[in-house]
Chains A and B, each alone.
Chain A
Amino acid sequence: MSSLTFTRYELVRTIRNRRFFFFSLVFPLLMFLTIGGSNANTEIVPGVKFIDYYMIGMAGWGAMLAVMSSGARIAAERSIGWVRALRLTPLSVRGYFRAKIAAGYLMAGLSIAILYVAGLVLGVRLPLSNWAQMTGLILVGLIPMAVLGILIGHLVTPDSLGPVMGGTSALLAFLGGAWFLPSGWLSTVGQCLPSYWLCQAGRLTVAGHSWPAQGWLVIAAWTVGLVAITAQVYRRGEGKS
């Protein structure tokens, strides 16, 4: 009796899903190759080259899509009765969510790795400590995103999943500065979002910083808030199955 096999099959299913593959792995890579390759050496902020910034932004965005869509697929699994069938097995709800998050993180890791390799090929050069630190921060920044995916999976129907996921992730990526650094009021709003700290993890690292207290606070607050809301939504739906 182990949820390890369950997690393994969760991953197998994710890899076999072509749409998922394209949007969270291929799409960010294509964006990086076409846009990141031009103006590679322009400095976006003093000391941070455009190509470095863009690689990290796309890695963060791809990783964000990967963890969010892993949870969001619960919408389809609810509608075809899979969640109901699993409730009749010894697999716990926690075990089910753990497998979703584990599969999401593994796919996110793959997405990040692909972007790093593409970055290296196009000439991104950073000290090893920078690579390590920004990867660590991205992985922490993904926590609220994984919970958000599970929440979306419980709120929407499979029909509306595409638009809801596309809209939410695009907005979060835009305000978080995945494509360019927001300024003015956009930046003020952005700094309250977990996606901002996720996408800026690299820029800050390259410039020699970690997250300021605000970054940690935003990530922690969103995680706590989203877990509370998701638990509420889950309990409300439980009686109806």
Chain B
Amino acid sequence: MGQGTNQAAPHPPNARAVEVGSGIHLDRLSKSFGSVRAVDDVSVTIRPGETVAILGPNGAGKSTTIDMMLGLTRPDTGSVTLFGQEPARAIAVGAIGAMLQSGGLINDLSVRELIDLLASLYPHPLPVDEVLQITGITDIAARRTQKLSGGQSQRVRFAAALVSNPALIVLDEPTVAMDVEARRGFWATMRRFTDSGKTVVFATHYLEEADAFADRIVLMSHGRVVADGPTTEIKARVGGRSIRFTLPEAEVEALQALPGVSAVDVKGETVRLTCTDSDAAIRGLIAGFAAARDVEISGAGLEAAFLELTSDDHDETDHTAGAPA
């Protein structure tokens, strides 16, 4: 316990007893709680070394998906394999490190003792001092765990996940109690850690966070995967601006052909263009549609656009649910 070399990168992850090359497979997972379908037919495959964000608003099924991935919740249907093993087996050989949203800090121990205790359970842990240092908790190492602030607890949880030196690290809303600066610090630390080729899966409801850190985004809404692809692609889809204007007798097809426009929505005389490139679209609009007036470009930002996308989905879902079978 606690022995080893001094840097995060050269430590081999706990990958010896698992087939790291086989990655992570979530195969048609579904889970209901009573009449609520929390997760509905979710399939995701993650390659080793990928950093994947599971993005979605509260209640999208992110935490339930993560719980099933870790074997904490049994799926109603579907299966999970982590590096070719069942979750329990991959956990037993120390290949998985996880940071849950809350809890997990036992009292009557100091921060340092807690991290040392957890390190002792893994076959190839990182040195405790190094983990305390990179997570910035050396100064509170002697403090009892029941006397920590929310932000400090979060950092201790992070240290607890890192010290296991896993091949896969799973983080459920890791920065939820942090201010902007702490969040930035957290991800800077995380990036240093993942440079050594570890696989990272994290849940978040911040698009900026997913954008800044993930290679790939799995977008969830109402228990389903609504989009899955490289971060740039999802961002264009979710984070694009929209242009609204008034135009009598609008021709949908002509508007659709404008550069940078991904979708056209016409209600009476009001038109909304969803854009991947709003600059190109506005130039094209002014050049080609002289009658367009009351032009507005919504600069509400990524969060609002994201919420809009998932709430559209909500209307659809309600509609479907209300229809006779």
Residues of A within 8 A of B (CB): 1-6, 9, 12-13, 16-17, 77, 80-82, 84-85, 87-92, 239-241
Central interface residue in B67, B98, B117, B164, by most chain A CB within 10 Å: B117
Across the interface, A5 reaches (CB within 8 A) one of B67, B106, B120, B123, namely B120
B12 CB, nearest partner CB in chain A, Å = 15
Distance, CA A12 to CA B116, complexed state (A): 13
> Which A residues are CB-close (under 8 A) to B97?
88
A238 CB, nearest partner CB in chain B, Å = 8
Distance, CA A13 to CA B91, complexed state (A): 25
Contact (Cβ within 8 A) B108 A81: no
Does B266 have its Cβ within 8 Å of any Cβ on chain A? no
Contact (Cβ within 8 A) A81 B102: yes
Contact (Cβ within 8 A) B70 A88: yes
Distance, CA A16 to CA B100, complexed state (A): 26
Residues of B within 8 A of A (CB): 1, 67, 70-74, 91-94, 96-98, 100, 102-109, 113, 116-118, 120-123, 160, 164
Q: How many interface contacts (CB-CB < 8 Å) are there between A and B?
A: 82
Across the interface, A84 reaches (CB within 8 A) one of B103, B113, B164, namely B103
> Which A residues are CB-close (under 8 A) to B109?
9, 12-13
Contact (Cβ within 8 A) B121 A81: no
> Which A residues are CB-close (under 8 A) to B93?
90
Contact (Cβ within 8 A) B100 A89: no
> Which A residues are CB-close (under 8 A) to B94?
1, 89-90
Contact (Cβ within 8 A) A80 B121: no
Distance, CA A240 to CA B74, complexed state (A): 8
Measured CB to CB, the nearest residue on chain A to B104 is A85
Question: Given that A88-B96, A90-B92 are known contacts, is A82 also in contact with B121, CB under 8 Å in the complex?
Answer: no
Distance, CA A13 to CA B74, complexed state (A): 32
Across the interface, A1 reaches (CB within 8 A) one of B96, B104, B123, B160, namely B123
A201 CB, nearest partner CB in chain B, Å = 32
> Which A residues are CB-close (under 8 A) to B71?
87
Contact (Cβ within 8 A) A13 B164: no
In the assembled complex, 7 residue pairs joining A and B whose CB atoms fall closer than 8 Å, in A order, are: A6-B120, A80-B106, A81-B102, A81-B104, A82-B104, A88-B91, A90-B122
Distance, CA A17 to CA B74, complexed state (A): 35
Contact (Cβ within 8 A) B122 A80: no
Given A3-B121, A88-B70, 17 further pairs, Cβ under 8 A: A1-B122, A4-B120, A5-B120, A6-B117, A6-B120, A9-B109, A9-B117, A13-B109, A80-B107, A85-B100, A88-B91, A88-B97, A89-B94, A89-B164, A90-B122, A240-B73, A241-B72
Contact (Cβ within 8 A) B122 A13: no
> Which B residues are CB-close (under 8 A) to A3?
121
Contact (Cβ within 8 A) A2 B120: yes
Top 10 A-B residue pairs of the complex, sorted by shortest distance between their CB atoms:
A81-B103, A85-B104, A5-B120, A13-B108, A16-B108, A89-B121, A88-B98, A82-B106, A9-B117, A1-B123
> Which A residues are CB-close (under 8 A) to B164?
89
A153 CB, nearest partner CB in chain B, Å = 14
Across the interface, A89 reaches (CB within 8 A) one of B73, B106, B118, namely B118
